[in-house]
Each structure stands twice: as structure tokens, then as C-alpha cells.
Amino acid sequence: MTREELIKIGLKKRNGEINVSWQQLADIYNLPSGEYFRDMVKKYVYRNKNDNLTKVLVISDLHIPFHLENILEILNTYQNKVDILLLNGDIADSQSISKYIKKYRVPFVDELIQTREMLLKIINVVKPKEVILNAGNHEYRMIRYFSENLHDDLLSLMPETSLELLIEDGFYKKDRQNGTKIFYEPLKNIINNIKYTHNWYNQIKDVVFCHPSAYKGSILKTAQDAYLYFIQRKFNFNCLVCSHTHAAGIYKYGDCFIIENGSLCKEPDYAREGKLLRPQVNGMFYCVLEDDKFNYDKSKLIILS
């Protein structure tokens, strides 16, 4: 008798359709014991119960190289526990081409190398089945800088975001003084099932994940505006996860849950220079979809500070 046939019999016993003991069934079908047969069926039920779940870990606003020093320790809690690792924008900071006043500059290529190394470490720690990346406003700093400083003929040759270089194209670090260059291979050639969306949002089943450039100071106001943006464009969803604000909260807005998921970076210098910004909240969001629908009870907003 095949394993599948044994499972069918075990399910009938589990559902009360067969009025014999597990041990009697084990004896009939030459199994080691009744407990062995019961556990085999129990494991089958557990595996199939979770087949209809999609578990997404949403992290954002790392602002590498200004990320939290213990970020790998934090993420290790979710090793082998998520189907999708979704990086929802502002993965790299692009500090050197920021509009803010800088006391020092982080060379852009060095930041790109560090971001690439950190992404590899994060993916290796979490071990998700799939990795998806949305762009944030800090990724779009690249095309803004190019558009302001390059002629159109050169602009057409440039990538739009740093994620194109990291995920799809790869890049060189050139030492012109010594006439050498090192090529950093694109992560798509190293990591299976990694995808850059080329957008500031994407939708997975019942949930929209977004990183708008717009920002409102009130808690959850940015997420509320994002909700209205997608509703007006006829998106069909019951949960929206919004990054960018470095704030964290969850609220039911009509029939939809709206979430701001916090950040995974240190507070930036400009937040401490008299701008009267509210303290940021470090956090991330564990999002569970069951039968393609957002499950609030199984999801969790994780506050780290």
C-alpha cells in the first residue's frame, strides 16, 4: 500500500469515519506502531494546513551604510520562516548625492559595495524562498542627480536607480590611478528568485506594499494617503503596507488595514539639527496571507524601539 493510500485511511480515522484504534490499523498495514501512524497523519495535516499560507517579511528604510548594527541578529529570528522577503525601499541611502547638508561624504561606489554585501548577508540569514525589492525615494536619488547634472545624450545611458546596478546589471569600481577595475556581479546571478520591481510599489495577492516619496508628519497619514491613491486607481486590496515614514502603526481604515512598518536604520544626523522631527521607530512587518487574503490575526507589526 502506498503512503498516499495510508494517509487517506489515517484521515478517515482522524475524522471518526473508522471505528478502530491506531494500533489496530498499524497492525493491519504492517506499520511500526499506532503512535507512528498517528504522527504520520498529524504531520501531513500540519504541512497541508500551511500550504495555503504565504508569509511575507517586510523590511525597509535600512539606509545602508546607516543600518542598525544588530540587523542580522534581528532578522535571524525569521530564518526559514518566510516565503517572501520584501525590501520595501530605501535599502541604500545614496548619502553622497543627497540634497541635505553633509558633514562628510560616503563615496557612492563604496556605499554600493557595502549595500551589496549586506543584502547578501540578509538573504543568507533569512533564507526566504523569494526576494522582492521595491525602490524608495533614496534609490531614485540617482536618476534625479543624473537628470540635473548630465546632458540628455548621457542620461539615456544611465540607470534609474541603484537597485538596477545591484540586482540586474552589476557594476565596476575603477581605480584610475592604478589602471585597475573590479566587477561586482549582479545579485540575480547569485541569488535564486530575486526580483526588482522597477517601481515604488507592488501587489502580492491581497496586499499592496509601497514606498511613496510623499510624506505627511501625522502618524499613519502617509499610509492613509497611499490607500486613497490606490483606491482611486481601482486597485483591489484589503491591506496596505507603507514604508518611508520611519514610523510604525496599524489601523483599520474602512474595510482595509493600513500599516506603517518602521525602519531598520539609525536616526539620521539631520533629524538632530533643530528640524523638530518626531523620533523614528525601528520596526518591520510580518505579513501572512491565507488563501490569498490578508490574515490580521496571524500577522504582526514588530516594534524594535
Q: What is the pLDDT of residue 270?
A: 60
The distance of Cα 6 from the centroid of its chain, to the nearest Å, equals: 40
Position 271 scores a pLDDT of 55
CA 181 to chain centre: 32
C-alpha cell, 261: 512598518
Query: Terminal CA-to-CA distance of the chain, rounded, Å?
Result: 56
| Region of poorest pLDDT, from 23-37, 95-109, 215-229, 264-278 | 264-278
Cα(211)–Cα(136) distance, integer angstroms: 5
CA-nearest of 233, 232, 239 to 207 is 239
The CATH class given to the 52-303 domain equals alpha beta
Average pLDDT, rounded, for the chain: 92
Residue 212, preceding peptide bond in cis (omega within 30° of 0): no
pLDDT in tens, 211-264: 999 988 787 999 999 999 999 999 999 999 999 999 999 999 889 999 999 999
Domain ranges of the chain: 3-48, 52-303
Beta strand pairing call for 171-175 and 53-59 = unpaired
22 backbone dihedrals φ, ψ, rounded to 5°? -60, -40
On whether the CB atoms of residues 209 and 146 are closer than 8 A, the answer is no
Q: Is the pLDDT of residue 272 over 80?
A: no
Q: Which three cell numbers stand for residue 44?
A: 501531513
- Residue-wise pLDDT for 69-83, tens only, equals 999 999 999 999 999
- Asked whether the beta carbons of 107 and 170 are under 8 A apart, the reply is no
> pLDDT by residue (tens digit) across 174-225?
998 999 999 999 999 999 999 999 999 999 999 999 999 998 878 799 999 9
Which residues lie across from 259 on neighbouring strands?
A: 241, 250
**Percent of the chain beyond pLDDT 70?**
96
Note the pTM of the prediction, 2 decimals.
Answer: 0.82
Q: Which candidate, 56, 93, 68, places its Cα nearest to that of 280?
A: 68
Residue 163, amino acid: L
Enumerate the β-bridge partners of residue 265. Answer: 67
Asked if pLDDT for residue 86 goes beyond 70, the answer is: yes
The DSSP element (H or E) to which 203 belongs, if any, is strand 201-204
CA 79 to chain centre: 13
Using only C-alpha atoms, the chain has a radius of gyration, in whole angstroms, of: 24
